[in-house]
Amino acid sequence: MTCLPAHTDKKLGLVVDLDTCVGCQACVTACKGWNDQGYGAALSDQDPYGADPSGTFLNRVHSYQVTPHDGGTAKIVNFPRSCLHCEDAPCVTVCPTGASYKRSEDGIVLVNEDACIGCGLCAWACPYGAREMDAEAQVMKKCTLCVDRIYNENLPEEDREPACVRTCPTGARHFGDFADPDSTVSKLTRDRGGVPLMPQLGTKPVNRYLPPRPKDRPEEASLLAPLLDIKAQGLAGWLDRMLGKLD
């Protein structure tokens, strides 16, 4: 049923730390790798080794240059983009067949691929570009929050989190329950001022992005300043003093 649940017991989702993401694309490949071998249709590629390669991915890492409002040095922000598992998910309600649904137990938004007619309307309804139609299977693919990992008792406990989170070498991705105020994701969101994306569209995304910490300000003294303030000693010190008197 494509009506949204009035309440979900858990709100599982991701926190993405834009301060520590280095844009290595490991989450992209880990996601593609895991979702090629189990849940639903494999993520296909078209012309993968040819002149015009294209393929289905559930996670894309953008790269933005951000110029501070006060004109400081521009900085690069790597920005992973995937499904935000919205509380008010427009992709679910537009689905004509009931293939798209949001689980009432944990809030994960999924597609029942056997009922998907491949009309593409859910992808149109998503502001975040989280859904891609697989050109081979002709059904809609999206992030499952690795529903086949997080509850999988055949995996070691440390592997029971989404592939993108497990693989991230800088710990920029965190998985947890936003309905629990004491969870890591809730605390991170509180402490670091985690933001939702395009809140004005009313989708109530669950995932949060942690803004990069301010740095690279030329006017601010470096944290290393005390170490850099080296006083020359001995012969070098004498030379320093003598040369200083010349001008």
Partner 1 sequence: MKPAPSVILFSTLSGLGFGFLALLGLGLIATQGWPAFFHWAFGYAFAVGGLLSSTFHLGHPERAWRAFSQWRSSWLSREGVAAVATLLILAPQALSDWLGLGWGQGFGVLGAVGCAATVLCTGMIYAQLKTVPRWHHWTVPVTYIAFSLTGGLILAGSGLWAAVACLGLGGLLAYGWRIGDSAFARAGVDLASATGLSGLGRPQVFEQPHTGGNYLMREMIFTVGRRHAAKLRVIALVLAAGIPALATLVLPVLPALILGGAAHLAGAMAQRWLFFAEAEHVVGLYYGRMSGNS
Contacts with partner 1 by CB under 8 A lie at: 1-4, 18, 52-57, 60-69, 72, 74-77, 79, 81, 90, 92-99, 115-121, 123-129, 132-133, 135, 137-139, 195-202, 209, 211-212, 214
Half-sphere CA count of 115, side-chain side, radius 13 A: 12
Tokens representing 246 are 């010349």
Taking the C-alpha atoms of residue 100 and residue 123, their distance in angstroms, rounded to an integer, is 11
**Residues β-bridged to residue 156:** none
Q: Which is nearer to partner 1, 195 or 239 (CB)?
A: 195
Q: Which is nearer to partner 1, 3 or 236 (CB)?
A: 3
Shortest separation between residue 224's beta carbon and partner 1, angstroms: 23
CA torsion angle for 175, 180, 183, 186 (degrees, to 10)? 80
Determine the 3-state secondary structure of 188 from DSSP: helix
Tokens representing 87 are 């509380």
Q: Which is nearer to partner 1, 115 or 232 (CB)?
A: 115
Q: Which is nearer to partner 1, 67 or 104 (CB)?
A: 67
Residues 75, 167 contacting (CB under 8 angstroms):
no
Shortest separation between residue 203's beta carbon and partner 1, angstroms: 8
Tokens representing 11 are 């709100």
Between strands 173-177 and 54-55, the pairing is: unpaired
Shortest separation between residue 218's beta carbon and partner 1, angstroms: 14
Q: Which is nearer to partner 1, 109 or 126 (CB)?
A: 126
Shortest separation between residue 31's beta carbon and partner 1, angstroms: 13
Shortest separation between residue 104's beta carbon and partner 1, angstroms: 15
